[in-house]
Chains A and B, each alone.
Chain A
Amino acid sequence: MWSLLRIELYKIFKRPRTYISFAAIWAIVSLIQLAIYVDGQRYMEFFMKDLAASFEIQGNMLNGYFVCFIILQTLLIHVPLLIALVAADMIAGEANMGTLRLLITKPVSRTKLMISKFLASAVYAVLLLVWMAILSLFLSMVIFGTDGMMNAKSYEIIILEKDDIFWRYALAFAYAAVALITVASLGFLLSVFAENAIGPIVATMSVIIVFTILSTMDIPLFQQVKHYFFTTHMIGWKGFFDVKVDADGNAIVGSIANLPAVLRSAGVLLAHTFLFTGAAILIFRKKDILS
């Protein structure tokens, strides 16, 4: 299995197109950082103008942690497209190239081949996220420094202490990895049905967009079923920045407001991942290779 996984990773990272995703993330993060570096102070003043009348805000609120939060909010909606580019290509791309039939004639079980391909796309998703973490968190910490972080909600603003943030990001990125692997598993499943990668890539993004729209529509029917959509749980990483507050309204260091909800969301994502991947393997085991 390890040998198969290495082969799949070798194929992924030998393809020039793989690096488009890494370049795209670098470009977007750099642009956001540049914009905040040049014009961030004005943005913060606008953001805090109502608060400034009532509160005295001390310290550097426009710090690396806050910038990373902005970047994640913006990017984690679009990264699934980059994941789909590779995951949806895993089977359909091989079928399109004509290499799938040669792979199947090798003395390797179809199940192991599929598992190795899925794991390879999961590794790619995690590496893309690590790259995003390096750029959006570590680079932002270097450029903008570190301090406490504001977490603004519609009804309250909570200031997280400087030393109470980094571990939250570590968990948030781990959660995001689970969410992106779920996207990868969906792309992987759709890839089994096609002989050209474009179809499954578009289909994966369509599913994400449609389900996201449905879950945001304030219609009772959709509100009831939205908890079953994996897209609803993809933003669960934000839960790590919701903290419990004490009687004085101060954030309790090391706390997470609703950890069971975060874990439940992660469970839903994992269940979808197993469902999609299991279905892909079962279908592929029976599939006639006609490409």
Chain B
Amino acid sequence: MESIIRIQGLTKHFNHFKAVSDLSFTVEKGDVYGFLGQNGAGKSTTIRMLLSLITPTAGSIEMFGLPLATHRREILRNVGAVIERPDLYKYLSAYENIHLFAAMSGIEVKRNHLMEQLAQVGLAERAHSKVRTYSQGMKQRLGLAIALVHDPQLIVLDEPTNGLDPQGIADIRNLILMLSRQMNKTVFVSSHLLSEIEQIANRMLIIDQGKKLVEGTVQNLFRTDDMILHLQTTNNLLAAELLQKSSYAKQLQEWDAHGMLLRLSKQEVPQLVAWLVQQQIEVMSVEPRFTLEDYFLKITTANQHVESFTH
């Protein structure tokens, strides 16, 4: 597999503050790579180092097999980026903005091509309106069109759904999936929302306080052999009492009149339901409570119990 990004021991200090510490990871060609962390975890600093906005204190960045420090321009020709807010020239139209950045990307600027890019993100009809009249979602889509105008192999998106409404979030998600699946682009996308990454990424890395916590495929990180299930029955207190006396006692975490929480694997669920029915307890619902979001919070928040009984 061809590596698109290879980071080794990346470190950035701002005076005495360590924004990123000894970070290493690899993004392969075709990945939708989720880069996760809470606000202030070091995601944006890392992305800015990837895009040569910030010089690392230590470590190395290789992209497309070339060191960024010495091949910046060659590398950036193959990179499109939207960094945090899609800030653009508000006094120019969308067409003028994309024209200007396309020219800076070193491609031959053709009107048809630019209009196609704007059409791809649904902005063709407003191409000649000033950007100051655009909504946040439209600016975000224009930012994406600008990132894609020079047909880069790698697309770097820093919190691309920030400030968007649900429809805008869905549009961006679909666009990322389209870029990956239909256009075979490599996408590096950061977010502090695991639910977003969960739906689009095949691999991800979780960072906290500038350090890597975990890295791997989404399937591996979200294993189903250790789930928290919320169980509701026709008689929850009786069910809990029976469970305490059974072999499930250790798995029972919390309970009250509204339901109970159990820690067990996905494969054990049918047996549990059958056992409860045997005990004359009817099962109303079984819902997983251990989501990726819980996992994310669990490993990024020290001493926080995420297996709380929530509704």
**Contact residues of A between 96 and 118, Cβ < 8 Å to B:** 97-99, 101-109
Residue of B nearest to A4 (CB): B104
**Contact residues of B between 83 and 128, Cβ < 8 Å to A:** 83-85, 87-92, 96, 100-101, 103-106
Number of interface residues of A (CB under 8 A): 24
Is the CB–CB distance between A107 and B91 below 8 Å? no
Is the CB–CB distance between A99 and B53 below 8 Å? no
Q: A102-B83, A289-B48, A290-B54 are in contact. Are A107 and B73 (CB under 8 A)?
A: yes
The reply on A3 being an interface residue by CB < 8 A is yes
Is the CB–CB distance between A107 and B89 below 8 Å? no
Is the CB–CB distance between A288 and B101 below 8 Å? no
Task: A104 to B53: give the CA distance in the assembly, Å.
Answer: 7
B81, B83, B84, B100: the one contacting A11 at CB < 8 Å is B100
A3, A14, A289, A290: the one contacting B91 at CB < 8 Å is A14
Q: How far is the CB of B304 from chain A (nearest CB, A)?
A: 30
Residue of A nearest to B104 (CB): A106
The reply on A10 being an interface residue by CB < 8 A is yes
**Contact residues of B between 14 and 42, Cβ < 8 Å to A:** none
Which chain A residues border B200 with CB–CB below 8 Å? none
What per-residue 1/0 map shows which CB atoms of A249-291 lie under 8 Å from chain B? 0000000000000000000000000000000000000101110
Which chain B residues border A104 with CB–CB below 8 Å? 51-53
Is the CB–CB distance between B91 and A109 below 8 Å? no
Is the CB–CB distance between A10 and B100 below 8 Å? yes
Residue of B nearest to A109 (CB): B73
Task: A98 to B55: give the CA distance in the assembly, Å.
Answer: 19
Q: Is the interface of B mostly helix, strand, loop or mixed?
A: loop
Task: A109 to B106: give the CA distance in the assembly, Å.
Answer: 12
Which chain A residues border B48 with CB–CB below 8 Å? 101, 288-290
Q: How far is the CB of A85 from chain B (nearest CB, A)?
A: 15
Is the CB–CB distance between B55 and A97 below 8 Å? no
B53, B85, B88, B96: the one contacting A105 at CB < 8 Å is B53
Which has the most chain B C-beta neighbours within 10 Å: A107, A109, A288, A289? Answer: A107
Task: A3 to B109: give the CA distance in the assembly, Å.
Answer: 12
Which chain A residues border B52 with CB–CB below 8 Å? 104-105
Task: A290 to B106: give the CA distance in the assembly, Å.
Answer: 25
Q: How far is the CB of B281 from chain A (nearest CB, A)?
A: 59
Task: A11 to B97: give the CA distance in the assembly, Å.
Answer: 10
Task: A106 to B103: give the CA distance in the assembly, Å.
Answer: 10
Q: How far is the CB of A78 from chain B (nearest CB, A)?
A: 26
The reply on B146 being an interface residue by CB < 8 A is yes
The reply on B264 being an interface residue by CB < 8 A is no
The reply on B74 being an interface residue by CB < 8 A is yes
Which chain B residues border A14 with CB–CB below 8 Å? 89, 91-92, 96
The reply on A15 being an interface residue by CB < 8 A is yes
Number of interface residues of B (CB under 8 A): 31
The reply on B77 being an interface residue by CB < 8 A is yes
Is the CB–CB distance between B83 and A101 below 8 Å? yes
A11, A101, A106, A108: the one contacting B89 at CB < 8 Å is A11
Q: A15-B91, A97-B90 are in contact. Are A105 and B54 (CB under 8 A)?
A: no
Is the CB–CB distance between B104 and A108 below 8 Å? yes
Q: How far is the CB of B106 from chain A (nearest CB, A)?
A: 6
Q: A105-B52, A106-B76 are in contact. Are A7 and B100 (CB under 8 A)?
A: yes
Is the CB–CB distance between B55 and A288 below 8 Å? yes
What per-residue 1/0 map shows which CB atoms of A150-169 lie under 8 Å from chain B? 00000000000000000000
Task: A93 to B240: give the CA distance in the assembly, Å.
Answer: 64
Residue of B nearest to A3 (CB): B103
The reply on B79 being an interface residue by CB < 8 A is yes
Which chain A residues border B77 with CB–CB below 8 Å? 107
Which chain A residues border B79 with CB–CB below 8 Å? 105
Which chain B residues border A286 with CB–CB below 8 Å? 55
The reply on A16 being an interface residue by CB < 8 A is yes
Which chain B residues border A10 with CB–CB below 8 Å? 100
Q: How far is the CB of A110 from chain B (nearest CB, A)?
A: 9
Residue of A nearest to B156 (CB): A105
Task: A7 to B87: give the CA distance in the assembly, Å.
Answer: 17
What per-residue 1/0 map shows which CB atoms of A5-49 lie under 8 Å from chain B? 001001100111000000000000000000000000000000000
Residue of A nearest to B51 (CB): A105
Task: A14 to B88: give the CA distance in the assembly, Å.
Answer: 14
Which chain A residues border B75 with CB–CB below 8 Å? 107
Q: How far is the CB of A236 from chain B (nearest CB, A)?
A: 37
Q: List 20 A-B contacts (CB under 8 A).
A: A7-B103, A11-B100, A15-B91, A16-B91, A97-B89, A97-B90, A98-B85, A99-B87, A99-B88, A101-B51, A102-B83, A102-B88, A102-B146, A104-B51, A105-B81, A106-B76, A106-B105, A107-B74, A107-B106, A290-B54
Give residues in B with beta carbon < 8 Å to A: 48, 51-55, 72-77, 79, 81, 83-85, 87-92, 96, 100-101, 103-106, 146
The 6 tightest CB contacts between A and B, nearest first, are: A98-B87, A289-B53, A107-B76, A106-B104, A107-B73, A288-B54
Beyond A101-B53, A289-B54, 12 extra complex contacts between A and B, CB < 8 Å: A11-B92, A97-B89, A99-B87, A99-B88, A102-B101, A103-B104, A106-B104, A106-B105, A107-B104, A107-B106, A288-B54, A289-B53
